[in-house]
């Protein structure tokens, strides 16, 4: 699964799952652009690790929800590394709460970043991929996008939208040599899930057949496979990485 010569962009690549993905793709030879919005220091730390291992990359700031910033980011990457051939739409936020406690602003913010950011980055990167007739687009979803989740109406809606978006554009881009897939993690050990794990960790572990929480590297491995030539005949699919949690009743 070598990616030497490929240019990858990982949005939200400075922390958590995005960080693990950036490091994994770099270890396989890709030049990796690490996108961040606020975490400049964390992004630079990831870049330093990549460089210390003999890899190549750059840190690039941009709010994926803002179309012009995405376009500027793509131009900066192209000037320093080349056109993006592997896009990982990982950037996302959540604002959890029961439906009646959430205002419309929370829905707009989550949808603008999670769905709007995926849309903006895909649109910006796809042009170059179409010209090259080669590309990989991998969107980060969640198991809640298919099975729901209490207190997560806005987040669930955004991930369900990403699943639908993945399937739709896979049909549009297939004739151009571009594959589009999504990875749907379960309970992964990151800052995003820290509070939930503290409050309901035992409950989740009891439902996970593999009896452990996932690590960011578990997700990164699936992303790396989908980025590789071994996955050239796979498109429009949602790959669940959850230790079997999705097989359990809703919790």
The pLDDT tens digits along the chain (251 residues) read 589 999 999 999 999 999 999 999 999 999 999 999 999 999 999 999 999 999 999 999 999 999 999 999 999 999 999 999 999 999 999 888 888 888 999 999 999 999 999 999 999 999 999 999 999 999 999 999 988 888 889 999 999 999 999 999 999 999 999 999 999 999 999 887 777 787 877 788 888 999 999 999 999 999 999 999 999 999 999 999 999 998 876 55
Active site residue 155: yes
- What is the pLDDT, as a whole number, of residue 199? 80
| In contact, 182 and 140? CB cutoff 8 Å | yes
Selected catalytic residue, list 36, 119, 155, 204:
155
- How large is the greatest C-alpha to C-alpha distance in the chain, in angstroms? 51
Q: Residue 52: which of 77, 23, 88, 81 has the closest Cα?
A: 23
- What is the pLDDT, as a whole number, of residue 1? 58
3 state SS of 141: coil
- What is the pLDDT, as a whole number, of residue 150? 85
Neighbour tally for 171: CB within 10 Å: 11
Q: How far apart are CA 22 and CA 33, in angstroms?
A: 8
| In contact, 34 and 81? CB cutoff 8 Å | no
| In contact, 37 and 116? CB cutoff 8 Å | no
- What is the pLDDT, as a whole number, of residue 246? 87
- What is the pLDDT, as a whole number, of residue 200? 72
Start-to-end Cα distance in the chain: 36
- What is the pLDDT, as a whole number, of residue 228? 96
- In three-state form (DSSP H/G/I as H, E/B as E, the rest C), the secondary structure along 234-247 is CCCCEEEECCCHHH
3 state SS of 137: strand
Tokens, residue 217:
């590297």
124 to 79, 145, 174, 175: CA distances (angstroms): 15, 25, 17, 18
Neighbour tally for 136: CB within 10 Å: 26
- What is the pLDDT, as a whole number, of residue 54? 96
Structural domains of the chain ordered from first start: 7-239 (3.40.50.720)
Write down the pTM of the prediction. 0.94
- What is the pLDDT, as a whole number, of residue 223? 98
């Amino acid at each position: 699964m070598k990616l030497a010569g490929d240019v990858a962009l990982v949005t939200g690549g400075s922390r958590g799952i995005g960080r693990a993905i950036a490091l994994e793709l770099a270890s396989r030879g890709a030049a990796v652009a690490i996108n961040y919005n606020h975490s400049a220091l964390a992004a630079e730390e990831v870049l330093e690790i990549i460089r210390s291992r003999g890899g190549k990359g750059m840190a690039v700031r941009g709010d994926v929800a803002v179309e012009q910033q995405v376009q500027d980011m793509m131009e900066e990457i192209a000037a320093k590394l080349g056109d993006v051939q592997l896009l990982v739409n990982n950037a996302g936020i959540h604002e959890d709460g029961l439906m009646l406690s959430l205002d419309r602003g929370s829905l707009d913010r989550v949808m603008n970043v999670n769905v709007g950011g995926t849309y903006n980055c895909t649109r910006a990167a796809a042009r170059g991929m179409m010209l090259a007739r080669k590309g990989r687009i991998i969107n980060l979803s969640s198991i809640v996008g298919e099975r729901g989740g209490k207190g997560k109406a806005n987040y669930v809606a955004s991930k369900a939208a990403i699943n639908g978006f993945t399937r739709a554009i896979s049909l549009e881009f297939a004739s151009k040599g571009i594959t589009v897939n999504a990875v749907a993690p379960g309970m992964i050990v990151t800052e995003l899930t820290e509070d939930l794990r503290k409050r309901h960790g035992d409950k989740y572990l009891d439902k996970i057949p593999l009896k452990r929480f996932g690590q960011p590297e578990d997700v990164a491995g699936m992303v790396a496979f989908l980025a590789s030539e071994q996955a050239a005949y796979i498109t429009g699919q949602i790959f669940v990485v959850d230790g079997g949690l999705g097989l359990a009743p809703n919790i």
